[in-house]
């Protein structure tokens, strides 16, 4: 046996003593308010600082706890804890492990305003029209629901740091899917655990009975129905508990949220069961009469398996159907769409977290697969998409957001962003019925310039075309490549486009489009390739041939590369027609 040198043993011994000594120097400290008089407590955060748990106690009763990189001095940003619901009561925030020299107690503040600071929405890498949280980490979009003219967006949120953790539901609202007003977090960790992904619905007929004081109009319609959120609770007792499905609700149009006292509404079943997607089903389309329909919950179970559950009241659920081998895991979505806009010919889409989907039929209990799985995702930064519920019939769209997973935002007080809002349709192709994804029409509201038109013939790889008059980094570009070769050609002919240093190429030989190494199959249609390219400060989104292919990709423009769009390819191989629009920031005068 090899012997350790005596000197090394002494060093290890001393390190052990030092470690024990440092541990002994940390103490529990409490920030206390004898009577809460302001809405928020602003807690100092320092990225990279030692983590500690902080327990929230009201009148001596624990409400919840969170883990935070607590700033001893010079905080990077302040995180917001809402305490307004406990006005007049005693507050105690107890930090479990704090060094004696920490100044966190004097740094912690109370306020009637969220912890914005002068730099919020003005950060160098802040997306200008893609949603990103005011502060902290985000991942999956959750609880997308439309109610009385307002789009509600909930999102996986760590308000206490820029890395994943402390999963809560953040909350923002918008009138146009672009300009978001972010409020306090809506759903916080509780005795059942942290808050993973889920969905939201409007209970128009109060089937749940959660609205105890319903108000009806002259036609007998409830004007103040509850909005109900479903999420996975997971890891009670600091990560030791199993996953189950819980419910929160609002009876004041989404201003405040109540934790349903009977949680969980679906206990742990198997594996990582999570991410409930709830919707109303009626054999008669758009019929919300509770006598003619019921609620359905799509739930991920384990592996590549999902299940459907049924309920009359959103509270009691029974399993009715298994959906196996979807080709991916997590984050189900399920919805009906007309094929080619024909409402008399519709299909159901069952969607998984990785963008794979099945097409089939659904009778309220059984989903019958007709084709798939197909995919909308070939790589890049795109995961855990979810679509809106309760979009008015007069609109009729299926609007979706997706998490642009894996983006980098160095030294920013926020982390991660979503895609632009996208509209989904089913269309008939030569390969069968497929899902198409395009930017929602609202994006065009951000165009601040008339179309900059450009057309030319390709002049060879060594003579790239330079697109003029591209200004700024917020762009919406529509481009058509009119190919002058037979579509049956197997010649390896490549068209290259470069913008902000990000390369897009199309190879006629293998019929693939490539955005920064993310490749997807794409066939010309009537000798044409249509591209829609949308750029923001840290991202580029590509939609090809009306959305049969979409690729979302994040990047960091470290060298401040300007737009400088160039297009090159075999001489006379294709005619290029292009329209570009400069977009405005959604932050207006704040930017």
Out of 6-10, 132-136, 444-448, 461-465, pick the least confident: 6-10
Domain annotation covers residue 5: no
Domain annotation covers residue 11: no
In the predicted model, is pLDDT for residue 170 greater than 60? yes
Q: Which of 21, 116, 140, 476 is catalytic?
A: 140
CATH at residue 229: 2.115.10.20
Indicate if 406 and 497 belong to the same structural domain. no
**Strand, coil or helix: 20:** helix
Measured CA distances, 215 to 224, 346, 400, 519 (Å): 6, 35, 31, 54
Direct distance between the N- and C-terminal alpha carbons of the chain, in angstroms, rounded to an integer? 66
- Report the chain's mean pLDDT, rounded to a whole number: 90
CB count within 10 Å of CB 178 equals: 18
Domain annotation covers residue 226: yes
- State phi, psi for 208 to the nearest 5 degrees: -80, -20
Domain annotation covers residue 3: no
Domain boundary among 61, 91, 111: 111
In the predicted model, is pLDDT for residue 591 greater than 60? no
pLDDT of residue 5: 44
Indicate if 463 and 435 belong to the same structural domain. no
Indicate if 174 and 30 belong to the same structural domain. no
DSSP string, 273-317: -EEEEEEEEESSTT---GGGEEEEEEEEEETTEEEEEEESSSSS-
pLDDT of residue 493: 66
Indicate if 566 and 464 belong to the same structural domain. yes
Closest CA to 31 of 100, 90, 99, 117: 90
In the predicted model, is pLDDT for residue 580 greater than 80? yes
**Strand, coil or helix: 231:** strand
pLDDT of residue 589: 47
Task: Look up residue 64 and give its two tokens.
Answer: 């919840």
Domain boundary among 441, 462, 486: 441
Domain annotation covers residue 498: yes
Cβ proximity of 78 and 42 under 8 Å = yes
For a pLDDT cut of 90, what percent of the chain falls above it?
77
Sign of CA dihedral 520, 430, 375, 275: positive
Domain annotation covers residue 20: no
Domain annotation covers residue 47: yes
Domain boundary among 391, 418, 441: 441
Indicate if 467 and 426 belong to the same structural domain. no
Indicate if 436 and 474 belong to the same structural domain. no
Indicate if 99 and 230 belong to the same structural domain. no
Indicate if 217 and 145 belong to the same structural domain. yes
pTM of the model: 0.92
Active site residue 140: yes
Domain that holds residue 585: 449-590
Out of 269-278, 350-359, 456-465, 511-520, pick the least confident: 456-465
Average pLDDT over residues 234-263: 92
Indicate if 297 and 373 belong to the same structural domain. yes
pLDDT of residue 20: 45
Indicate if 62 and 192 belong to the same structural domain. no
pLDDT of residue 564: 83
Q: How far apart are CA 289 and CA 352, in angstroms?
A: 29
Indicate if 436 and 478 belong to the same structural domain. no
Indicate if 96 and 147 belong to the same structural domain. no
Task: Give the chain's domain count.
Answer: 3
CB count within 10 Å of CB 321 equals: 18
In the predicted model, is pLDDT for residue 540 greater than 90? yes
């Amino acid at each position: 046996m090899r012997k350790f040198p005596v000197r090394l043993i002494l060093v290890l011994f001393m390190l052990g003593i030092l470690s024990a000594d440092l541990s002994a120097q940390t103490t529990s400290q409490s920030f206390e308010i004898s009577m809460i008089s302001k809405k928020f407590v602003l807690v100092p955060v320092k990225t990279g600082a030692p983590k500690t748990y902080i327990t929230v106690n009201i009148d001596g009763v624990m409400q919840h706890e969170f883990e935070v990189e607590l700033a001893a001095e010079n905080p990077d940003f302040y995180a917001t804890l809402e305490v307004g619901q406990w006005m007049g009561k005693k507050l105690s925030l107890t930090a479990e492990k704090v060094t004696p020299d920490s100044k966190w107690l004097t740094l912690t503040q109370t306020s009637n305003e969220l912890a914005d600071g002068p730099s919020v929405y003005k950060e160098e890498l802040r997306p200008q029209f893609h949603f990103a949280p005011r502060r902290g980490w985000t991942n999956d979009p959750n609880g997308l629901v439309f109610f009385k003219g307002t789009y509600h967006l909930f999102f996986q949120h760590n308000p206490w740091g820029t890395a994943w953790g402390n999963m809560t539901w953040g909350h923002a609202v918008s009138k146009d899917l672009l300009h978001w007003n972010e409020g306090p977090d809506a759903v916080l960790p509780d005795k059942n655990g942290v808050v993973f992904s889920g969905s939201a619905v409007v209970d128009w007929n109060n089937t749940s009975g959660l609205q105890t004081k319903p108000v009806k109009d002259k036609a007998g319609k409830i004007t103040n129905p509850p909005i109900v959120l479903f999420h996975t609770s997971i890891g009670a007792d600091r990560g030791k508990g199993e996953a189950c499905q819980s419910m929160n609700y609002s009876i004041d149009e989404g201003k405040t949220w109540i934790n349903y006292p009977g949680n969980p509404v679906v206990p742990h079943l198997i594996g990582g069961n999570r991410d409930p997607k709830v919707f109303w089903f009626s054999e008669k389309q758009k019929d919300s009469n509770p006598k003619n329909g019921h609620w359905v919950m799509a739930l991920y179970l384990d592996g590549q398996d999902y299940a459907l559950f049924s309920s009359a009241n959103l509270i009691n659920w029974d399993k009715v159907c298994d959906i196996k081998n979807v080709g991916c895991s997590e984050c189900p979505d399920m919805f009906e769409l007309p094929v080619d806009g024909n409402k008399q010919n519709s299909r159901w889409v069952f969607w998984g977290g990785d963008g794979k989907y099945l097409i089939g039929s659904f009778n309220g209990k059984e989903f019958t697969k007709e084709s798939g799985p197909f995919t909308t995702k070939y790589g890049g930064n795109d995961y855990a998409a979810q679509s809106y519920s309760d979009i008015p019939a007069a609109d009729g769209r299926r609007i979706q957001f997706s998490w642009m997973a894996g983006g980098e935002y160095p030294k920013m007080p926020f982390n991660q962003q979503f895609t632009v809002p996208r509209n989904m349709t089913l269309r008939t192709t030569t390969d069968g019925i497929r899902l198409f994804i395009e930017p929602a029409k609202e994006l065009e509201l951000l165009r601040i310039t008339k179309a900059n038109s450009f057309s030319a013939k390709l002049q060879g790889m060594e003579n790239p075309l330079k697109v003029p008059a591209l200004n700024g980094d917020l762009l919406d570009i529509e481009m058509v490549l009119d190919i002058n070769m037979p579509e049956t050609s197997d010649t390896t002919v490549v068209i290259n486009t470069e913008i902000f240093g990000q390369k897009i190429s199309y190879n006629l030989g293998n019929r693939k489009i490539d955005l920064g190494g993310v490749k997807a199959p794409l066939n010309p249609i009537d000798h044409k390739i249509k591209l829609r390219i949308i750029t923001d400060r840290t991202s580029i989104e590509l939609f090809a041939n009306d959305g049969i292919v979409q690729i979302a990709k994040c990047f960091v423009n470290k060298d401040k590369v300007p737009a400088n769009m160039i297009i090159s390819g075999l001489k006379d191989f294709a005619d290029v027609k292009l329209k570009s629009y400069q977009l405005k920031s959604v932050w207006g005068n704040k930017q």
